Structure 1
Amino acid sequence: MNLDQRMHKAENSSRWRAYAMIAPLLLFVMLSFVAPLGMILLNSIYDPVVPDGLPHTVAELQAWAGPRDQLPPEPVYAALAYDMKKAAQEQQTGSIANRLNIEKPGLRAVFMKTSRVVARQDNGPWTPVFETADPAWSQPEIWGTIRNLSSPVHSLFFLSALDLHRQPDGTIAQQPKDQRIYISIYLRTLAVALAVTFLCIVLGFPLAYMLAHLRDKTANLLLIFVLIPFWTSLLVRTTAWTVVLQEQGLINSLLQMSGLIAEPLTLVFNRVGVIIAMTHILLPFVILPVYSVMQQIPTTYVQAARSLGASSLVAFFRVYLPQCMPGLNAGGLLVFVFALGYYITPSLIGGSADQLIAYFVSYNIGTSMNWGLASALATILLAAVLLLYTVYDHLVGHNRLTIR
């Protein structure tokens, strides 16, 4: 074996050892991050309840393929009667009725009532049986709803997450005004995240600057106070802010004692309380990155600028601040991403008009059991974060942070 072959073999061996070393980490990332994201995306577009529960009805509707403004023929009613009886035997009636009700409120009661009537009927014709059981079956809208759900893969959850819906005739339209909530919630979430990010940068930069320019012993002591919130439960910190911000809390008491206000301010169960509490909780995520960057900046740079005739402000803004931008960008991005997905703090301190998108994801999972809509809401939020990060990277990427 010549030298080239031995070197090639050694390189291959080193490469495979490196792959073996990162394999556990890669597996962990796949199981804990990629797989859940894949399941969320799948749940947002995959909805087999109606196709699996009413297979013969779906097949007959597709075979008929008549206009959506007309009632289907007798074979479709017969197929639905057969599917209803089979669903009752397999205890799937409730899940089918719930899915229909999500798409059009009121269909659960119609479907459950009709299913009981059909169970007592042995033979057709089925058209009069359905129309007698409930007048809704004599309207084309209910059949259009079943048609919209006839495919296990559809975009209905994404339409709902964007305040749209597919009408029984197949066209897409906006939700009624009293049902348009999610676009405003996304905008509210974005506004709160931007406000919290701005406040964290405004408050965190001076604190990081002070820590970076104090003596090591004093800076380390103060840094401990910055890190203490990480050792305290998020729920405990949020509850503490509820006590501090209430009308008889510490802040209102101090303001009244100082004579600045005559009546207590409303600082809790509103947007102000949410922003205050989230800013306090997320502030360390700005302080620590900025502080670590400031520690690496040589003091001689500013001194050299001053010696060349620059004023203190010019030296700060043109020499010192640009070198702090990597820390500010990293801290601001961390705070912004965390704020977009915050749940506990807005839930406990905010009012009904201050809940962020994470609350509605949790509500659709745990209360309304609409996992598809929850997955669509989470997927849209993830896509928005990736889009904003792409814009951020394009505008202030690391290759644009060099001092000119």
Structure 2
Amino acid sequence: MTVTVTSNLREPADASTGSGSGADGRAAYARTRRRASAQALLLALPLLLFLLATFIAPIAILLSRSVENREVPVNLPALSQALKAWNGEGLPDEHTFAILAADMRRASAEGQLGTVARRLNFYLPEFRSLLMRTARQLPETAPPAWKPALIELDPRWGTHDIWRILKRSAVSPTPDYLLAAVDATVTPDGRVTALPADSSVFINAFARTVWISASVTLLCLVLGYPVAYLLATLPADKSNRLMLLVIVPFWTSLLVRTTAWYVLLQPGGVINSLLMGMGLVSHPLPLLFNRTGVLIGITHILLPYMILAIYSVMKSVSPIYMRAAQSLGAHPVTAFVRIYVPQTLPGVGAGCFLVFVLALGYYITPALLGGAGDEMISQLIAAQTNEQLNWGLAGALSAYLVIFTAVFYFVFNRLVGIDRLRFG
């Protein structure tokens, strides 16, 4: 008997063909991913351009003003070039005095001498009167020598400090605004020195801002933690109704809420009238135009942020851990402190960071509820831009505020690990 064996084995596929198919698949997948990324970028591009034009660019421009010095170099260009070549000793030569007269005459005709005077007044308060008086009294015809003529018009042109200030103001970029923002200045011999204590303004404002922000953060934590715990442990229907009370302040204007506290805290307001009616106090308490009013107002506004940050973490903490600890003999307080609280620390850290950073830049509340000794750095920035028109100093103060916030973020991230915190 003959047995015929038929083999079902086939020749193996060409290795090169299989490899080519895999490469084509990977290439197609990469093209698909790139196409999807491009589509996502196109969808987000309008928002990115909007943020760039309305948020990032204005901040960058303001911060650049902290080292920018264009008033003197732009409006007195020839004098600025001449002063760069001057060695800074004694008085400049006759040619520099002649250039000063010509540049002042041209700047006055163009209406830019006031801009120069305002910038130089930043160094020396009497500089504006010096420039304006000299520009008005410049002779129509050039004198034989401008140096003695200008000194005769005003003897201050014969002092070394005036020309030293002109030379410093002709340089851009300049550290002058950054130094002034920390109450420092440059002496005639070129050394950086701190201003006297009675002239120090901005260092005290920075310290006051940090103190108020830290106090508000602590108050929000003390008041917000129990509320967040109550919201997280109540039944869902009751929790939702109470959560509405936490969210309602977000629907009200910040200015309206601050003005409401203005009404409540004044000597004849609701709070003092209630306390005096109950016989708790014999005279109205000073709750307005001082640090107390500022702390109350900012704490009320920022408290919901702390509550929501902590609540979002508390909702994820299972109650089984507390029951397990108590079943093993732990006192309820001990179980709460050693078992429950550590699990909520991510929310505490997130809330503290959020409240502290928001409090650093508060403006409306301390302006309405605070007194003369409660100015925060944001109020000084607003005063420099709106009243003094000193955008350079405002940019320097803003730069320090941004730097401080960034440093606080990195320190906080190092200690707590904010990149691992849960915000909900």
Q: Counterpart in 2 of 1:100? A: 120
Choose which of 48, 60, 63 in structure 1 pairs with 2:70: 48
Q: Counterpart in 2 of 1:276? A: 296
Cα distance in 1 between the residues matched to 2:376 and 2:203: 11
Q: Counterpart in 1 of 2:84? A: 62
User: CA-to-partner distance for each residue in 1:7-53, whole Å, 9 max, x for gaps?
Assistant: 22322331342244144244344334432332122111111111112
The residue matched to 1:247 in structure 2 has which SS?
coil
Amino acid aligned to 2:378: A
The count of residues paired between Structure 1 and Structure 2 equals 400
2:344 corresponds to 1:324:
yes
> What is the CA-CA distance between 1:119 and the residue it aligns to?
5.6
Cα distance in 2 between the residues matched to 1:335 and 1:371: 28
TM-score, with normalisation over the residues of structure 2? 0.90
> What is the CA-CA distance between 1:337 and the residue it aligns to?
0.6
Cα distance in 2 between the residues matched to 1:313 and 1:29: 48
Cα distance in 1 between the residues matched to 2:231 and 2:190: 62
TM-score, with normalisation over the residues of structure 1? 0.94
1:329/1:66 CA distance change after superposition, 3 Å: closer
- Contact kept, 8 Å, 1:164 with 1:175, in 2: the verdict is yes
- Contact kept, 8 Å, 1:142 with 1:168, in 2: the verdict is no
Q: Counterpart in 1 of 2:276? A: 256
1:391/1:343 CA distance change after superposition, 3 Å: same
The residue matched to 1:44 in structure 2 has which SS?
coil
1:119/1:379 CA distance change after superposition, 3 Å: farther
> What is the CA-CA distance between 1:6 and the residue it aligns to?
2.9
Choose which of 21, 32, 37 in structure 2 pairs with 1:13: 32
Amino acid aligned to 2:216: V
Unaligned residue ranges in structure 1 (runs of 5+): none
Cα distance in 1 between the residues matched to 2:25 and 2:420: 43
Choose which of 131, 156, 165 in structure 1 pairs with 2:176: 156
Amino acid aligned to 2:222: V
Amino acid aligned to 1:57: L
Amino acid aligned to 2:109: Q
User: CA-to-partner distance for each residue in 1:95-121, whole Å, 9 max, x for gaps?
Assistant: 011100112111011111111222634
Q: Counterpart in 2 of 1:338? A: 358
1:37/1:367 CA distance change after superposition, 3 Å: same
The residue matched to 2:372 in structure 1 has which SS?
coil
1:400/1:232 CA distance change after superposition, 3 Å: closer
Amino acid aligned to 2:152: T
- Contact kept, 8 Å, 1:85 with 1:119, in 2: the verdict is no
Cα distance in 1 between the residues matched to 2:274 and 2:370: 23
Q: CA-atom RMSD, angstroms?
A: 1.8
- Contact kept, 8 Å, 2:366 with 2:376, in 1: the verdict is yes
> What is the CA-CA distance between 1:291 and the residue it aligns to?
1.2
2:23 corresponds to 1:4:
yes
Q: Counterpart in 2 of 1:207? A: 227
The structure having more radius of gyration, on CA atoms, is: 2
User: CA-to-partner distance for each residue in 1:353-387, whole Å, 9 max, x for gaps?
Assistant: 11100000000001000000000000100100110
Cα distance in 2 between the residues matched to 1:136 and 1:399: 59
- Contact kept, 8 Å, 1:84 with 1:118, in 2: the verdict is no
